[in-house]
Chain A
Amino acid sequence: EVQLVESGGGLVQPGGSLRLSCAASGFTFSNYWMHWVRQAPGKGLVWVSRISKDGRSTSYADSVKGRFTISRDNAKNTLDLQMNSLRAEDTAVYYCARDLQYNLPDYWGQGTLVTVSS
């Protein structure tokens, strides 16, 4: 069974940093591109970032470019999102998701809540 379990969310002040992690199991992690997708309270899904199977290729939404860094450790089956210079508008549930094909996710984790507030 495919499982994606996020962790690392919490309350952080504006300008602060947070590192999210996603532990993957039930599939061959190194065979899949992976995504981070976020959802602000009461709002829709917004794609944040994706990373290639080997970690060499990454891309970001314009809203987080230069502030967020996606990475992965295929030996540990983990996906990370380093978030710096956080803003109030980054407040959201962050989901880790596996890529099915063509940048479209299939399996999603349960999400981790990030709240940016003073």
Chain B
Amino acid sequence: QSALTQPPSASGSPGQSVTISCTGTSGDIGGYNYVSWYQQHLGKAPKLIIYEVSKRPSGVPDRFSASKSGNTASLTVSGLQAEDEADYYCSSYAGSKNALFGGGTKLTVL
């Protein structure tokens, strides 16, 4: 069982928006503004798409946005495209503990 909880799957049609949640505790997500999100296409390495809760690295489309409320972080993909179909993982700083990952969410574009 992963330290951070994500839904195993999510889906949406092209052009729609979908939101993926990531739930932790006050000792990780709730306690720090250091949450990252990674996109992983099948057979590929993870790619950073969000850091520090809501910041996007250069080159990541603004269709990807994220936020945090309490112990839950959320990733929203707007204007879904076929290329967005992938696994998405959240990760959070956890103080004296090492970084935690969520179990991953498989996003399907219908």
Do A46 and B98 have beta carbons less than 8 Å apart? no
A107 to B104 CA separation, bound complex (whole angstroms): 18
Verify if A45 is at the interface (C-beta below 8 Å from B).
Answer: yes
Do B48 and A107 have beta carbons less than 8 Å apart? yes
Do A109 and B45 have beta carbons less than 8 Å apart? yes
Verify if B24 is at the interface (C-beta below 8 Å from A).
Answer: no
Interface set of A (CB-CB < 8 Å, partner B): 35, 37, 44-47, 50, 59, 61, 95, 100-111
Verify if B102 is at the interface (C-beta below 8 Å from A).
Answer: yes
Give every chain B residue within 8 A of A106 (Cβ-Cβ): 48, 51, 57
Closest-CB distance, B20 to chain A (whole angstroms): 14
Give every chain B residue within 8 A of A61 (Cβ-Cβ): 98
Do B45 and A108 have beta carbons less than 8 Å apart? yes
Residue-wise interface mask of B (63-106) relative to A, using a CB-CB cutoff of 8 A (1 in contact, 0 not): 00000000000000000000000000101111000111111100
Give every chain A residue within 8 A of B57 (Cβ-Cβ): 106
Do A104 and B34 have beta carbons less than 8 Å apart? yes
B contacts with A, residue count (CB < 8 A): 24
Give every chain B residue within 8 A of A107 (Cβ-Cβ): 48
B98: contacting residue among A50, A100, A101, CB under 8 A? A50
Do A105 and B98 have beta carbons less than 8 Å apart? no
Residue-wise interface mask of B (32-48) relative to A, using a CB-CB cutoff of 8 A (1 in contact, 0 not): 10101010000011111
A111: contacting residue among B45, B99, B103, CB under 8 A? B45
A95 to B92 CA separation, bound complex (whole angstroms): 18
Do A104 and B99 have beta carbons less than 8 Å apart? yes
Do A102 and B34 have beta carbons less than 8 Å apart? yes
Do A103 and B101 have beta carbons less than 8 Å apart? no
Residue of A nearest to B87 (CB): A44
A113 to B94 CA separation, bound complex (whole angstroms): 28
Do B51 and A104 have beta carbons less than 8 Å apart? yes
Contact A105-B48, Cβ < 8 Å, known A44-B101, A44-B103, A50-B98:
yes
Most central of B45, B51, B99, B101 by chain A CB within 10 Å: B45
Closest-CB distance, A41 to chain B (whole angstroms): 11
Do A103 and B98 have beta carbons less than 8 Å apart? yes
Give every chain B residue within 8 A of A100 (Cβ-Cβ): 36, 48, 51
